[in-house]
Structure formats: C-alpha cells, structure tokens
C-alpha cells in the first residue's frame, strides 16, 4: 500500500493507494472556521425542536445551527420540546439529509483533525500492511486523480467492461456493462470487487442497487452474494446488509450512513449548499499548486465577492496565510460579480 498526508492552507488531505496506484480511500479535513458542519463523533449541545410520534423521530437544533434527528425509543418517554440535550453525531449531513445523532450524557466534544485522521488511518491501514510513503506532490496528484475517479459516472474494469454509477435521491444505481466484449464467467465477481472499492472511495451509503450481468442462479448466485457480503463487511464503512441476487439479476445493499460522501468535497459534484465553500477551496488549492510549481514567480489573484465572502464570513485570513507560507508574491484584485469565472490566477 502507498500512503501519504499533506497539510494545506485550510485543509489536510491524505490518500491511500494500492501498489498499482489505484486509489483506495481519501481523507479531507476542512478547517472548522471554514466548514463548521458537524463531524462524525462530535458531541454537541442541542435543543429539541419537535417530536414526530408518527415517525418515531425527534428533531433537534444543534449548537452550530444544523438540524439533527434521532429515532425515539418506544421503551422510554420522548424528551419534551425545548429540552436541552447532548447529541453525538453518528452520521454527517449532506445535500437534503440532516445530521443523525444519538442522545448521550457525555460533555461536549469537537473531534480534532488528529483524532479524525487517526480513525481513518486505522481503518485503512492494517498492522501487517507494507506501507510506502508518498511525497507531498505525489499526494496532491493522487488526490486529484482520485477525485476524477470519484466524479466519473463510469468506471472501466481491468478485465474489460464498465460500471455505470448513478446517484439519485433515493438510491445509488450501478450497472455492470460488458460493453459488447466477450467476458468470462468471472465478470460479475470482478465487478462486485470493484464496487467495494468504489463504495469505500466515494463513501457511498444508503440503498445501492447493482444490476449484474445475466441473472445468476443457484450456487453461482449464492457465491456472488457471500463474496460480496464478505468484501463489504471487511471494508471501512458503516454496517452493510446485502440481499441475495434477485430473479432479475439485481443485488440490493443497504449501507449505514456515516461520513459525508466524497462528492460533497468537490466543486464539480457537491450540493448547492456547499458550492461557495468548495469554489473557495478549489481556488486556494490552485493558488498553492501554482506557487509550488513556479517558486520564483509572482501572481495576481482576481476574485469575486462570492469567493471572498466565504473567507470573510469565517474570519479566515487566506491572504495572510498565503503570504506566510509562500512569501509576498501575491497581488489581490477584485473581480466583477457578473464575471464568468469566480477567480483567476495570473502569473506576472
């Protein structure tokens, strides 16, 4: 396995690769000033805002302003509306999904970067793994390549054929496509093995439906089911339940929601509520890459109020951070609100 960590302005990123450079999993930690969203394992003060007895759910307002919910226990009376509780985050929010929490008696706790990185690393790297350390530039390039993999709607299988991955509001649909090529009997085995990697890499959760080739039956269907189930249970994800292959050749999986999908940490694929933040982080990343690749150059950075507003509202001194790390090599200018692009980096 290949592994590396690099700390950038506003974020820390890490990547794990196979010996053949296939990305296994990526870690991205955003400065809480920039991204105050509740993180997995945080414990936050909360106020109970409503009780839905029909759905057996309670909705709370977390200290950071996000909405959370938890399932009511039928063995106990629900908390009163307006009650103050401590809520532990068991699933992060994204898109239209609220934070899932669990009431606890523990004191408030914001998980730190080091603790989050340690958890991720321990899930990815086993005690017997032979680990090769990547350089900072290799990490940056590998994360860029991994993002391209994550954003792709189709994944080519090493043995031929493709996976077509489509995320909808209700589920993630994955089609195993032989692309007209001749395939041996193991195409579904290889495809489901790649699905496990994609689930980990993309942090896919919820309902997943996989349309395998043909409609395997009997011993072959049982073997596919057990091998796929074993692969998911050995992966660093939430609890996964796999149904047997259906008569129509569908494999249904339910994966417990836990971490925010990686698609939410990219400007190209994130939901509307994160667009401004991801645009700002993209700009910061590109400025740093330019400064590191052209160590003697000076730069003019033009930004719209939309991008600057992300940093200003967070009280994050991005210009000072750039100067501290790379020297006084930057000139900053305003860009019109109606500009076709939110920022431009020019070399002087």
Pair (118, 219) in one structural domain: no
Provide the domain count of the chain: 4
Give the whole-angstrom CA distance, residue 37 versus residue 66: 7
CATH number of the domain that residue 178 is part of: 3.30.1710
Cβ atoms of 263 and 167 closer than 8 Å? yes
Per-residue pLDDT tens digits of the chain, which is 348 residues long: 999 999 999 999 999 999 999 999 999 999 999 999 999 999 999 999 999 989 999 999 999 999 999 999 988 888 999 999 999 999 999 999 999 999 999 999 999 999 999 999 999 988 888 999 999 999 999 998 898 889 899 999 887 889 999 998 889 999 999 876 555 558 899 999 999 999 999 999 999 999 998 888 999 999 999 999 999 999 999 899 999 999 999 999 999 999 999 999 999 999 999 999 999 999 999 999 999 999 999 999 999 999 999 999 999 999 999 999 999 999 999 999 888 899 999 998
189 contact partners, CB below 8 Å, separation of at least 6: 224, 227
Q: Domain limits at 123?
A: 1-38+113-133
Please state the φ and ψ torsions of residue 228, each to the nearest 5 degrees: -65, -45
Crossing angle for the helix pair 318-326 and 275-293, to the nearest 10 degrees: 20
Task: Find residue 303's DSSP bridge partners.
Answer: 334, 343
Pair (69, 128) in one structural domain: no
Pair (99, 207) in one structural domain: no
| 205 in a structural domain | yes
Pair (189, 244) in one structural domain: yes
DSSP string, 223-276: HHHHHHHHHHHTSSSS-EEEPPPPTTSEEEEEE---SPPGGGGSTTTS-GGGHH
| 139 in a structural domain | no
Pair (193, 226) in one structural domain: yes
Report DSSP state, residue 108.
P
Give the whole-angstrom CA distance, residue 324 versus residue 301: 16
Q: In the block, which residue shows the tokens 């160590």?
A: 295
Q: Out of 200, 228, 255, pick the residue that ends a domain.
A: 255
* Cα→Cα distances 159→22, 181, 188, 215, 224, Å: 15, 10, 11, 20, 17
Considering only CA atoms, give the Rg of the chain.
Answer: 23
Pair (246, 164) in one structural domain: yes
Pair (157, 86) in one structural domain: no
Pair (25, 126) in one structural domain: yes
41 sits in the region (left: phi over 0; alpha: psi -120 to 50; else beta) called left
Pair (92, 118) in one structural domain: no
| 47 in a structural domain | yes
Pair (91, 185) in one structural domain: no
| 213 in a structural domain | yes
Pair (189, 313) in one structural domain: no
Residue 193 structure tokens: 């093995």
Give the helix/strand (H/E) hosting 313. helix 305-314
Residue 344 structure tokens: 């431009």
| 141 in a structural domain | no
| 217 in a structural domain | yes
Sign of torsion over alpha carbons 72, 75, 81, 85: negative
| 288 in a structural domain | yes
| 220 in a structural domain | yes
Pair (180, 234) in one structural domain: yes
């Amino acid at each position: 396995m290949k592994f590396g960590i690099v700390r950038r302005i506003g974020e820390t990123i890490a990547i794990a690769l196979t010996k053949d450079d296939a990305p296994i999993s990526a870690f991205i930690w955003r400065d809480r000033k920039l991204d105050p969203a509740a993180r997995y394992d945080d414990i936050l003060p909360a106020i109970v805002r409503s009780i839905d007895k029909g759905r057996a759910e309670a909705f709370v307002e977390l200290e950071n302003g996000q909405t959370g919910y938890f399932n009511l226990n039928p063995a106990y009376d629900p908390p009163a509306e307006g009650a103050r509780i401590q809520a532990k985050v068991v699933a992060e929010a994204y898109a239209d999904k609220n934070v899932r929490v669990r009431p606890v008696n523990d004191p408030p706790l914001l998980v730190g970067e080091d603790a989050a990185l340690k958890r991720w690393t321990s899930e990815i790297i086993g005690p017997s793994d032979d680990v090769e350390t990547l350089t900072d530039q290799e990490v940056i390039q590998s994360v860029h390549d991994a993002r391209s993999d994550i954003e792709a709607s189709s994944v080519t299988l090493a043995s031929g054929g493709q996976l077509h991955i489509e995320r909808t509001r209700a589920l993630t649909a994955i089609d195993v496509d032989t692309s007209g090529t001749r395939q041996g009997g193991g195409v579904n085995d290889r495809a489901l093995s790649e699905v496990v990697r994609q689930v980990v890499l993309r942090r896919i959760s919820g309902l997943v439906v996989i349309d395998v080739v043909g409609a395997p039956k009997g011993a072959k269907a049982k073997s596919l089911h057990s091998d796929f189930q074993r692969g998911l249970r050995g992966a660093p994800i939430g609890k996964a339940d796999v149904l047997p292959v259906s008569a129509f050749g569908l494999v249904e999986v339910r994966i417990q929601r836990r971490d925010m999908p990686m698609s939410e940490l990219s400007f190209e694929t994130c939901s509307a509520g994160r667009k401004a933040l991801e645009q700002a982080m993209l700009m910061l990343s590109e400025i740093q890459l330019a400064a590191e690749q052209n160590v003697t150059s000076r730069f003019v950075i033009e930004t719209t109020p939309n991008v600057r507003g992300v940093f200003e509202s967070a009280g994050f001194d991005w210009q000072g951070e750039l100067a501290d790390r790379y020297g006084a090599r930057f000139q900053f200018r305003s860009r019109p609100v109606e500009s076709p692009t939110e920022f431009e980096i020019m070399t002087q």
